[in-house]
Chain A
């Protein structure tokens, strides 16, 4: 599963890097709760993506129906996992709910930003 590893290496550190930079900016302007929220959300976004990759072995090389069933069960399991930072941010004021939510989409945001960058660069001047 070299492909999955390369994806992890490509997107996860970038997502964490962006979250840390954003958190530093937020701390600098005096909003520690925002900073904690974005780091927490991003951490779980990355863990979700890592789990997704790890579960691929279970899904590929199976029949269409089995693959779809396994995918459905895994989606439900990972949703339970993604709910954790949201619950934490609701109960503890140290973590801001809005930045926690934003952090949960960090890996996807990095992927889309990468795609937009490629699309813009591929266009003739």
Chain B
């Protein structure tokens, strides 16, 4: 049995390592590929600027790769560091570490590619070297912000690898696996979404160099709000890792913990990306008409706040799943109902999060063109977002029925 656990731990570490770099490489490769494709397009449009464009592309790609290097570091640690105390909990923690880092790096790698690519295309028409330099600076800052979800995922992965989680408790093992999934999924939307305002800000500086300050501030605010769903996911992951609920029965707690992680993790994808869409439109709007910065930023923030509702629903279901309290179940059905509640809420919130972002994108964009009707446009946005959210509410209702009725 001792030997079996050791093999299980090694297997978990190897699979975790493979997943870390496997998923982690996808985002960076897509982001770098996007930057290269936009650079190609820009060079074909204005070959005389090829030197500036290639320079910018290379810098952008180097930074976009950071998320994948985080994943590489975690993968190597998983493959080569021997755990001190091989138990089923250690095996679950190592696997979860790989999942957290791999999925967590996916969004950041992709998101970092957007500013790099957009800056390359915006450089085509810019002649002033000072403006070109400013664009590269803002691109780098926005790419650094994009890395935040991947860094959060790495922090969770390192905790899973190096913190001792006690004896061989199968419920704890499931909770740790759920924590890894929650953080990994939760970082995807925020990482990818944070790149959208960065890309739009760089494009905007190319068009309106004098609005650089406004665009940078707006980009930073928009990207920071995009990170909220990833932070929610981190909170749930930390609760799953460290809250001690005492001696709880395996069934149905395994399902409650897994459902809690999936609910917030999956729900964060839509809200993170939707918030990024609104922030991107805001930067574009300010570049179009810098005088509208106040009303555009307000509309963006309201739009982003409403786009966060689906992840808040997900968070609510997670908290209920975590803290409701259950008696021991001898049949599989009660556990499956709890797991289904988490899955239902998680998947059900992805679309409404992105949909709300689309509604906010349009409203923000038109407010910049038509400031006089900002109030009307914001009301329309809120109505549209409320309608979009209805499907998340349906998911929440079904999740609550699964939690309290079945």
- A residues with CB within 8 A of B: 1-4, 6-7, 49, 52-53, 56, 59-64, 67-68, 71-72, 75-76, 79, 82-83, 86-87, 90-91, 97, 101, 104-105, 107-108, 111-112, 114-116, 118-119, 122-123
Contact = CB atoms under 8 A, between A and B. Distances in A.
Interface string B291-323: 000000000000000000000000000000000
Contacts of B21: 79
A68 B51 contact: no
Contacts of B138: 119
A6 B216 CA distance: 27
B66 A105 contact: yes
A67 B43 contact: no
A79 B68 contact: yes
Nearest to B47: A61
B140 interface: yes
B54 A68 contact: no
Interface string B46-89: 00001110110111011101101100110111001100000000
28 contacts: A3-B54, A3-B55, A7-B59, A49-B62, A52-B58, A59-B36, A60-B50, A64-B37, A71-B32, A72-B29, A79-B25, A79-B72, A83-B72, A86-B72, A86-B76, A86-B77, A86-B80, A87-B80, A90-B76, A91-B80, A108-B62, A111-B59, A112-B140, A115-B137, A115-B144, A118-B133, A122-B134, A123-B213
A75 B29 contact: yes
A92 to B, nearest CB: 12
A111 B63 contact: yes
A59 B136 CA distance: 20
A112 B30 CA distance: 21
B371 interface: no
A75 B66 CA distance: 12
Nearest to A64: B37
A122 to B, nearest CB: 7
A60 B50 CA distance: 10
Contacts of B144: 112, 115
B28 A75 contact: yes
B223 to A, nearest CB: 14
A115 B141 contact: yes
B150 interface: no
Contact of A67 (B37, B141, B216): B37
Q: Which 4 A-B pairs have the closest CB atoms?
A: A68-B33, A115-B140, A3-B55, A86-B76
A49 B61 CA distance: 10
B54 A4 contact: yes
B62 A107 contact: yes
A103 B238 CA distance: 28
Instruction: Say whether chain A's binding surface is mostly helix, strand, loop, or mixed.
Output: helix
B273 to A, nearest CB: 21
Contacts of A52: 58, 61-62, 65
B405 to A, nearest CB: 48
Given A90-B80, A115-B136, A118-B137, A108 B63 contact: yes
Contacts of A123: 213
Nearest to B213: A123
Given A67-B37, A71-B36, A75-B68, 8 more contacts: A2-B51, A3-B52, A7-B55, A52-B62, A75-B29, A108-B62, A111-B62, A114-B140
Contacts of A7: 55, 58-59
Contacts of B59: 7, 111
A122 B40 CA distance: 30
B190 to A, nearest CB: 19
B36 A67 contact: yes
B42 to A, nearest CB: 10
A61 B76 contact: no
A63 B30 CA distance: 15
Contacts of B81: 90
Contacts of A118: 133-134, 137
Given A60-B43, A75-B28, A4 B58 contact: yes
A75 B136 contact: no
B212 interface: yes
Given A90-B76, A90-B81, A75 B141 contact: no
Given A56-B54, A75-B25, A75-B29, A68 B212 contact: no
Nearest to A1: B54
B176 interface: no
